[in-house]
Amino acid sequence: MEFLQPSTWTEALQMKSAHPEAMPIAGGTDVMVEINLDRHRPASILDLTRVTELNQWGADGEFLRIGAGVTYTRIIGELGDRLPGLAMASRTVGSPQIRNRGTVGGNLGSASPAGDAHPPLLATDAVVELASVGGTRRLPVREFFTGPKRNAMKQDELIAAFLVSPAKGPQQFSKVGTRNAMVIAVCSFALTLDPVRKHIGTGIGSAAPTPVIADEAERFLEGVLDEGGLWEKPASVDASALARFGELVAAAAKPIDDVRGTAAYRRHALAVMARRSFGWAWDEYRTKASE
Protein backbone atom coordinates (compact mmCIF):
# COMPACT_ATOMS: atom_id res chain seq x y z
CA MET A 1 0.00 0.00 0.00
CA GLU A 2 1.28 3.43 -0.89
CA PHE A 3 0.85 6.24 1.63
CA LEU A 4 0.45 9.71 0.12
CA GLN A 5 0.49 12.73 2.41
CA PRO A 6 0.09 16.07 0.62
CA SER A 7 0.53 19.22 2.66
CA THR A 8 -1.33 21.60 0.33
CA TRP A 9 -4.57 21.40 -1.66
CA THR A 10 -2.71 21.82 -4.97
CA GLU A 11 -0.44 18.93 -4.06
CA ALA A 12 -3.45 16.82 -3.02
CA LEU A 13 -5.13 17.36 -6.40
CA GLN A 14 -1.91 16.53 -8.26
CA MET A 15 -1.52 13.31 -6.27
CA LYS A 16 -5.15 12.32 -6.92
CA SER A 17 -4.61 12.97 -10.61
CA ALA A 18 -1.47 10.83 -10.65
CA HIS A 19 -3.09 8.12 -8.48
CA PRO A 20 -6.80 8.11 -9.40
CA GLU A 21 -7.21 4.82 -7.52
CA ALA A 22 -6.01 6.41 -4.25
CA MET A 23 -8.52 6.23 -1.40
CA PRO A 24 -8.84 9.64 0.29
CA ILE A 25 -8.84 9.54 4.09
CA ALA A 26 -9.69 12.31 6.56
CA GLY A 27 -11.07 11.29 9.97
CA GLY A 28 -10.81 7.61 9.05
CA THR A 29 -14.13 6.70 10.67
CA ASP A 30 -15.26 4.88 7.50
CA VAL A 31 -11.99 4.15 5.68
CA MET A 32 -10.15 2.62 8.66
CA VAL A 33 -13.03 0.24 9.39
CA GLU A 34 -12.69 -1.13 5.85
CA ILE A 35 -8.93 -1.56 6.22
CA ASN A 36 -8.97 -2.92 9.80
CA LEU A 37 -11.60 -5.53 8.97
CA ASP A 38 -9.91 -6.31 5.65
CA ARG A 39 -13.03 -5.58 3.63
CA HIS A 40 -11.11 -3.37 1.26
CA ARG A 41 -7.39 -2.86 0.79
CA PRO A 42 -6.74 0.20 -1.39
CA ALA A 43 -3.56 0.19 -3.49
CA SER A 44 -2.81 3.68 -2.21
CA ILE A 45 -4.22 5.99 0.39
CA LEU A 46 -4.29 9.80 0.29
CA ASP A 47 -4.19 11.44 3.73
CA LEU A 48 -5.95 14.81 3.62
CA THR A 49 -5.45 15.75 7.27
CA ARG A 50 -2.40 17.95 6.52
CA VAL A 51 -4.27 20.09 3.99
CA THR A 52 -5.15 23.14 6.08
CA GLU A 53 -7.44 24.57 3.36
CA LEU A 54 -9.88 21.72 4.06
CA ASN A 55 -10.18 22.61 7.75
CA GLN A 56 -11.42 26.15 7.19
CA TRP A 57 -14.85 27.69 6.76
CA GLY A 58 -16.07 31.18 6.00
CA ALA A 59 -18.55 33.35 4.08
CA ASP A 60 -18.81 32.90 0.30
CA GLY A 61 -21.31 35.48 -0.95
CA GLU A 62 -24.62 34.65 0.70
CA PHE A 63 -23.41 31.11 1.44
CA LEU A 64 -21.22 29.59 4.09
CA ARG A 65 -18.42 27.60 2.47
CA ILE A 66 -17.29 24.82 4.79
CA GLY A 67 -14.12 22.87 4.09
CA ALA A 68 -14.62 19.14 3.60
CA GLY A 69 -12.32 18.40 6.55
CA VAL A 70 -14.27 20.33 9.21
CA THR A 71 -15.27 17.82 11.89
CA TYR A 72 -18.74 17.26 13.33
CA THR A 73 -17.51 18.55 16.70
CA ARG A 74 -16.52 21.84 15.07
CA ILE A 75 -19.79 22.11 13.13
CA ILE A 76 -21.70 21.74 16.41
CA GLY A 77 -19.47 24.19 18.29
CA GLU A 78 -18.72 26.79 15.62
CA LEU A 79 -21.72 26.66 13.27
CA GLY A 80 -24.58 25.38 15.42
CA ASP A 81 -26.32 28.78 15.45
CA ARG A 82 -26.17 29.24 11.65
CA LEU A 83 -26.76 25.63 10.62
CA PRO A 84 -29.05 24.25 13.34
CA GLY A 85 -30.34 21.31 11.28
CA LEU A 86 -26.88 20.08 10.33
CA ALA A 87 -25.73 20.60 13.93
CA MET A 88 -28.65 18.51 15.24
CA ALA A 89 -27.71 15.73 12.84
CA SER A 90 -24.03 16.08 13.78
CA ARG A 91 -24.88 15.58 17.47
CA THR A 92 -26.38 12.18 16.60
CA VAL A 93 -23.20 10.98 14.87
CA GLY A 94 -21.40 8.17 16.75
CA SER A 95 -19.72 9.30 19.96
CA PRO A 96 -17.44 12.18 20.99
CA GLN A 97 -14.46 10.22 19.62
CA ILE A 98 -16.18 9.79 16.23
CA ARG A 99 -17.45 13.39 16.06
CA ASN A 100 -13.92 14.63 16.86
CA ARG A 101 -12.62 12.93 13.71
CA GLY A 102 -15.52 12.42 11.31
CA THR A 103 -16.18 15.05 8.63
CA VAL A 104 -19.07 16.02 6.37
CA GLY A 105 -16.68 15.68 3.42
CA GLY A 106 -16.11 12.06 4.39
CA ASN A 107 -19.83 11.47 4.82
CA LEU A 108 -20.37 12.77 1.25
CA GLY A 109 -17.48 10.70 -0.09
CA SER A 110 -18.85 7.50 1.46
CA ALA A 111 -22.33 8.44 0.20
CA SER A 112 -24.04 5.93 2.45
CA PRO A 113 -27.84 6.12 2.22
CA ALA A 114 -27.71 6.34 6.03
CA GLY A 115 -25.17 9.19 6.29
CA ASP A 116 -26.43 11.53 9.03
CA ALA A 117 -25.31 14.76 7.32
CA HIS A 118 -27.15 14.03 4.09
CA PRO A 119 -30.79 14.80 5.03
CA PRO A 120 -30.00 18.30 6.41
CA LEU A 121 -27.79 19.03 3.39
CA LEU A 122 -30.67 18.03 1.09
CA ALA A 123 -33.20 20.03 3.10
CA THR A 124 -31.05 23.18 2.86
CA ASP A 125 -30.24 22.86 -0.87
CA ALA A 126 -26.54 22.57 -0.13
CA VAL A 127 -23.97 22.52 -2.91
CA VAL A 128 -20.92 20.23 -3.07
CA GLU A 129 -17.67 21.69 -4.40
CA LEU A 130 -15.56 19.14 -6.27
CA ALA A 131 -12.08 19.81 -7.55
CA SER A 132 -9.42 18.21 -9.72
CA VAL A 133 -6.29 19.49 -11.44
CA GLY A 134 -8.62 20.36 -14.34
CA GLY A 135 -10.71 22.77 -12.28
CA THR A 136 -13.54 23.16 -9.80
CA ARG A 137 -17.25 22.46 -10.20
CA ARG A 138 -20.20 22.97 -7.91
CA LEU A 139 -22.97 20.41 -7.85
CA PRO A 140 -26.27 20.64 -5.94
CA VAL A 141 -26.28 17.93 -3.29
CA ARG A 142 -29.65 16.86 -4.74
CA GLU A 143 -27.69 15.67 -7.82
CA PHE A 144 -24.71 14.29 -5.92
CA PHE A 145 -25.97 10.88 -4.77
CA THR A 146 -26.26 8.39 -7.64
CA GLY A 147 -26.73 5.05 -5.85
CA PRO A 148 -26.00 3.17 -2.62
CA LYS A 149 -22.50 4.36 -1.62
CA ARG A 150 -22.15 5.96 -5.03
CA ASN A 151 -21.82 9.61 -5.93
CA ALA A 152 -21.21 11.84 -8.93
CA MET A 153 -17.47 12.26 -8.32
CA LYS A 154 -15.02 11.56 -11.10
CA GLN A 155 -11.98 9.42 -10.32
CA ASP A 156 -9.55 12.33 -10.25
CA GLU A 157 -11.77 14.57 -8.11
CA LEU A 158 -11.68 15.35 -4.41
CA ILE A 159 -14.37 17.01 -2.29
CA ALA A 160 -13.16 20.51 -1.45
CA ALA A 161 -16.10 21.91 0.50
CA PHE A 162 -19.85 22.21 0.76
CA LEU A 163 -21.81 25.42 0.54
CA VAL A 164 -25.01 26.15 2.39
CA SER A 165 -27.08 29.22 3.26
CA PRO A 166 -27.23 30.19 6.92
CA ALA A 167 -30.65 29.26 8.35
CA LYS A 168 -33.39 31.82 7.70
CA GLY A 169 -35.89 29.97 9.88
CA PRO A 170 -36.34 26.89 12.05
CA GLN A 171 -34.68 23.60 11.11
CA GLN A 172 -35.21 20.12 12.53
CA PHE A 173 -33.61 16.70 12.33
CA SER A 174 -34.84 13.41 13.71
CA LYS A 175 -33.43 9.93 13.57
CA VAL A 176 -34.70 6.53 14.61
CA GLY A 177 -32.25 4.06 16.13
CA THR A 178 -31.96 1.48 18.87
CA ARG A 179 -29.88 3.77 21.09
CA ASN A 180 -29.41 7.49 21.55
CA ALA A 181 -25.75 7.22 20.47
CA MET A 182 -23.55 5.08 18.24
CA VAL A 183 -26.31 4.09 15.85
CA ILE A 184 -26.66 3.94 12.11
CA ALA A 185 -30.06 5.44 11.35
CA VAL A 186 -32.97 3.06 10.82
CA CYS A 187 -34.34 6.11 9.07
CA SER A 188 -33.93 9.85 9.48
CA PHE A 189 -35.63 13.06 8.41
CA ALA A 190 -34.56 16.69 8.10
CA LEU A 191 -36.81 19.71 7.67
CA THR A 192 -36.07 23.34 6.85
CA LEU A 193 -38.47 26.29 6.99
CA ASP A 194 -37.38 29.25 4.88
CA PRO A 195 -39.80 32.13 5.49
CA VAL A 196 -37.86 34.40 3.08
CA ARG A 197 -38.34 32.12 0.05
CA LYS A 198 -41.54 30.66 1.55
CA HIS A 199 -39.91 27.32 1.01
CA ILE A 200 -40.07 23.98 2.82
CA GLY A 201 -37.00 21.76 2.47
CA THR A 202 -36.90 18.04 3.27
CA GLY A 203 -34.34 15.26 3.38
CA ILE A 204 -34.89 11.56 4.01
CA GLY A 205 -32.10 9.24 5.16
CA SER A 206 -31.75 5.47 5.22
CA ALA A 207 -35.04 4.80 3.46
CA ALA A 208 -34.10 4.63 -0.23
CA PRO A 209 -31.02 3.61 -2.28
CA THR A 210 -29.75 7.16 -1.75
CA PRO A 211 -30.69 10.02 0.54
CA VAL A 212 -33.71 11.67 -1.12
CA ILE A 213 -35.99 14.67 -0.84
CA ALA A 214 -39.78 14.56 -0.56
CA ASP A 215 -40.54 16.95 -3.39
CA GLU A 216 -44.30 16.50 -3.48
CA ALA A 217 -44.54 16.84 0.30
CA GLU A 218 -42.59 20.13 0.12
CA ARG A 219 -44.92 21.56 -2.57
CA PHE A 220 -48.01 20.39 -0.68
CA LEU A 221 -47.00 22.05 2.58
CA GLU A 222 -45.89 25.24 0.83
CA GLY A 223 -49.35 25.31 -0.76
CA VAL A 224 -51.09 24.90 2.60
CA LEU A 225 -49.03 27.71 4.16
CA ASP A 226 -49.50 30.02 1.16
CA GLU A 227 -53.25 29.46 0.89
CA GLY A 228 -53.81 30.19 4.55
CA GLY A 229 -51.45 33.21 4.52
CA LEU A 230 -49.75 31.39 7.38
CA TRP A 231 -46.20 32.65 6.79
CA GLU A 232 -47.49 36.17 7.50
CA LYS A 233 -50.00 35.25 10.20
CA PRO A 234 -48.71 32.03 11.66
CA ALA A 235 -51.72 30.15 13.03
CA SER A 236 -51.78 26.44 13.75
CA VAL A 237 -51.78 24.13 10.76
CA ASP A 238 -54.72 21.79 10.30
CA ALA A 239 -54.10 18.26 11.60
CA SER A 240 -55.35 16.69 8.37
CA ALA A 241 -52.80 18.73 6.38
CA LEU A 242 -50.04 17.55 8.70
CA ALA A 243 -51.16 13.95 8.31
CA ARG A 244 -51.10 14.37 4.53
CA PHE A 245 -47.61 15.89 4.73
CA GLY A 246 -46.47 12.81 6.66
CA GLU A 247 -48.03 10.47 4.08
CA LEU A 248 -46.33 12.29 1.22
CA VAL A 249 -42.94 12.13 2.96
CA ALA A 250 -43.41 8.39 3.53
CA ALA A 251 -44.44 7.97 -0.11
CA ALA A 252 -41.23 9.65 -1.30
CA ALA A 253 -39.14 6.93 0.38
CA LYS A 254 -38.25 3.62 -1.26
CA PRO A 255 -37.30 1.61 1.79
CA ILE A 256 -36.27 -2.02 2.00
CA ASP A 257 -36.42 -4.67 4.73
CA ASP A 258 -32.97 -5.12 6.26
CA VAL A 259 -31.25 -5.91 9.57
CA ARG A 260 -32.07 -2.49 11.00
CA GLY A 261 -35.79 -2.40 10.21
CA THR A 262 -38.56 -3.26 7.81
CA ALA A 263 -39.73 -1.15 4.90
CA ALA A 264 -43.18 -0.81 6.49
CA TYR A 265 -41.70 0.39 9.78
CA ARG A 266 -39.52 2.94 7.99
CA ARG A 267 -42.50 4.34 6.08
CA HIS A 268 -44.53 4.59 9.28
CA ALA A 269 -41.66 6.20 11.21
CA LEU A 270 -41.00 8.72 8.43
CA ALA A 271 -44.61 9.88 8.46
CA VAL A 272 -44.42 10.36 12.23
CA MET A 273 -41.04 12.13 12.11
CA ALA A 274 -42.20 14.43 9.30
CA ARG A 275 -45.35 15.44 11.17
CA ARG A 276 -43.54 15.99 14.46
CA SER A 277 -40.58 17.81 12.87
CA PHE A 278 -42.94 20.25 11.19
CA GLY A 279 -44.83 20.69 14.46
CA TRP A 280 -41.63 21.57 16.35
CA ALA A 281 -40.36 23.87 13.60
CA TRP A 282 -43.74 25.60 13.19
CA ASP A 283 -44.05 26.14 16.95
CA GLU A 284 -40.63 27.79 16.90
CA TYR A 285 -41.64 29.98 13.94
CA ARG A 286 -44.89 31.03 15.61
CA THR A 287 -43.14 31.79 18.91
CA LYS A 288 -40.56 33.98 17.16
CA ALA A 289 -43.26 35.69 15.06
CA SER A 290 -45.28 36.59 18.17
CA GLU A 291 -42.27 38.10 19.98
Partner 1 sequence: MKIACTVNGRARTVDGAWEGESLLSVLRDRMQLPGSKNACEQGECGSCSVYMDGVLVCACLVLGGQANDRTIVTIEGLATGTALHAVQQAFVEAGAVQCGFCTPGLVVATHDLLARFPEPSVMQIREALAGNICRCTGYAKIIDAVQLAARRIAVDEHSAR
**Residues facing 171 on adjacent strands:** 192
Cβ pair 85, 175 in contact under 8 A:
no
* Minimal distance, residue 103 CB to partner 1, in Å: 12
What is residue 95's three-state secondary structure?
A: coil
* Minimal distance, residue 228 CB to partner 1, in Å: 39
* Minimal distance, residue 58 CB to partner 1, in Å: 22
* Minimal distance, residue 233 CB to partner 1, in Å: 38
Q: Which residues of 108-120 are buried (b: 16+ CB within 10 A; e: fewer)?
A: bbebbbbbbbbbb
Question: What whole-number distance in Å separates Cα of residue 238 and Cα of residue 246?
Answer: 13
**Which of residues 56 and 146 has its CB atom nearest to partner 1 in the complex?**
56
**Which of residues 94 and 255 has its CB atom nearest to partner 1 in the complex?**
94
Total Cβ atoms within 10 A of residue 169:
19
* Minimal distance, residue 82 CB to partner 1, in Å: 22
Question: What whole-number distance in Å separates Cα of residue 74 and Cα of residue 99?
Answer: 9
**Residues near partner 1, by CB under 8 A:** 1-3, 5, 25, 27-29, 31-33, 35-37, 41, 45, 47, 49, 94-98, 100-101, 179-182
Question: What whole-number distance in Å separates Cα of residue 254 and Cα of residue 268?
Answer: 12
Question: What whole-number distance in Å separates Cα of residue 12 and Cα of residue 28?
Answer: 17
**Which of residues 184 and 213 has its CB atom nearest to partner 1 in the complex?**
184
**Which of residues 48 and 281 has its CB atom nearest to partner 1 in the complex?**
48
* Minimal distance, residue 282 CB to partner 1, in Å: 27
Q: Are strands 127-132 and 158-164 parallel, antiparallel or unpaired?
A: antiparallel
Question: What whole-number distance in Å separates Cα of residue 12 and Cα of residue 29?
Answer: 20
| Residue (of 151, 152, 158, 82) closest to 120 by Cα position | 82
**Which of residues 35 and 272 has its CB atom nearest to partner 1 in the complex?**
35
**Which of residues 139 and 183 has its CB atom nearest to partner 1 in the complex?**
183
* Minimal distance, residue 272 CB to partner 1, in Å: 24
Cβ pair 211, 190 in contact under 8 A:
no
**Which of residues 47 and 125 has its CB atom nearest to partner 1 in the complex?**
47
Cβ pair 212, 248 in contact under 8 A:
no
